[in-house]
């Protein structure tokens, strides 16, 4: 088309998109097949960013490390001395005493039970609570057996003409001996029943976790969820 200036102005319409794609593919094939042409090297894949050690989940820790940190306390040691270990505050001990406290535990495969407590709570209350929880049923059974045995002996003695135990009141069918014997049996089981629990192990934080080595202490705290799943 001639414009007013006498020059030829040509307006080329853009070819369709499929045609452009085909032309580009043909040119690329020619450039690759031409002698002396350089082929583009593939871009190497990006390396994944390193994950900080603090963000590694507990389950990704080595199994051997987790098993080594899983330490239980035998109930016979935990309740000894009327709960001396339970009443001990580890932050008030020296490094040697903390090591001795930690050595009271040993590596276990599973925990029979897990003790969760508040460090600021009185230790003697913790001891009584744990004794009632672990030995309460046994103490009750012992009290019933002893009281029933004394009552049966009283009945047998009265029918056999033997000397009975002194009774309180003329018409009392049950003497205070049954009550006294039952209470004594219950307290005996509560005080010394832990001696029969040598194979029962539990988790108690200030004994199962090392207190005088910061790295072991941090690792033990991080593995508490794994201990609960064990």
pLDDT digits (tens, 9 = 90+) for 93-137: 999 999 999 999 999 988 999 998 888 889 999 999 999 999 999
Has residue 143 got a pLDDT over 60? yes
CB 58 within 8 A of CB 223: yes
Q: Between 55 and 125, where is the model more confident?
A: 125
Residue 15 lies in a domain: no
What does the pLDDT average to over 81-97? 91
Mean pLDDT of 68-74: 91
Phi first, then psi: give them for residue 116, nearest 5 degrees: -115, 130
- Considering the domain boundaries, does residue 5 fall inside one? no
DSSP 8-state symbol, 74: E
**Is the predicted pLDDT of residue 62 greater than 70, yes or no?**
no
130 in any annotated domain: yes
Q: Is the pTM of this model over 0.85?
A: no
Exposure of 99 by Cβ count < 10 A (0-12 exposed, 13-18 middle, 19+ buried)?
A: middle
Q: How do residues 36-53 score in pLDDT, each as one tens digit?
A: 545 555 565 555 554 454
Residue 188 lies in a domain: yes
pLDDT for res 11: 38
**What pLDDT is stored for residue 209 in this prediction?**
93
- In this structure, is residue 195 part of a structural domain? yes
Give me the pLDDT at residue 68, please. Answer: 83
| Distance between CA atoms of residues 215 and 53, nearest Å | 13
Other CB atoms closer than 10 Å to residue 74's CB: what's the count? 20
When pLDDT is cut at 50, 70 and 90, the band that residue 16 belongs to is: very low
Is 3 domain-assigned? no
Cα angle 155, 160, 161 (rounded to 5 degrees) comes to: 100
- What pLDDT is stored for residue 116 in this prediction? 86
* DSSP H helical ranges for the chain: 17-33, 63-69, 75-78, 80-83, 95-102, 123-160, 176-192, 205-208, 214-222, 224-229
- Contact between 134 and 75 under an 8 Å Cβ cutoff? The reply is yes
Q: Which domain holds residue 176?
A: 58-229
pLDDT at 33 over 80: no
Number of domains in the chain: 1
Using DSSP bridges, classify how beta strands 201-203 and 71-74 pair: parallel, antiparallel or unpaired.
antiparallel
The confidence score (pLDDT) of residue 21 equals 44
Per-residue pLDDT at 44:
56
In a domain, 159, yes or no: yes
Q: What does each C-alpha distance from 59 to 53, 121, 170, 223, 224 come to in angstroms?
A: 13, 32, 71, 9, 11
Instruction: List pLDDT tens digits, range 151-204.
Output: 888 788 777 777 666 665 555 566 788 889 999 999 999 999 999 999 999 999
* Assigned domain for 123 exists: yes
């Amino acid at each position: 088309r001639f414009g007013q200036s006498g020059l030829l102005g040509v307006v080329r319409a853009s070819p369709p998109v499929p045609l452009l794609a085909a032309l580009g593919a043909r040119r690329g094939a020619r450039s690759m097949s031409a002698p002396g042409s350089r082929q583009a090297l593939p871009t190497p894949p990006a390396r994944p960013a390193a994950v900080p050690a603090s963000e590694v989940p507990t389950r990704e820790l080595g199994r051997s490390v987790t098993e080594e940190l899983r330490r239980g306390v035998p109930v016979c040691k935990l309740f000894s001395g009327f709960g001396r270990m339970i009443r001990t505050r580890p932050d008030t001990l020296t490094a040697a005493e903390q090591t001795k406290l930690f050595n009271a535990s040993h590596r276990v495969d599973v925990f029979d039970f897990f003790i969760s407590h508040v460090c600021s709570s009185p230790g003697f209350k913790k001891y009584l609570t744990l004794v009632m929880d672990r030995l309460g049923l046994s103490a009750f059974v012992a009290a019933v057996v002893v009281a029933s045995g004394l009552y049966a002996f009283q009945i047998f003695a009265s029918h056999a003409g033997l000397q009975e135990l002194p009774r309180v009141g003329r018409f009392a069918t049950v003497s205070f001996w049954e009550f006294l014997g039952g209470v004594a049996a219950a307290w005996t089981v509560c005080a010394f029943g832990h001696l029969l629990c040598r194979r029962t192990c539990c988790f108690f934080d200030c004994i199962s976790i090392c207190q005088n080595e910061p790295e072991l202490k941090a690792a033990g705290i991080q593995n508490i969820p794994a201990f609960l799943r064990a």
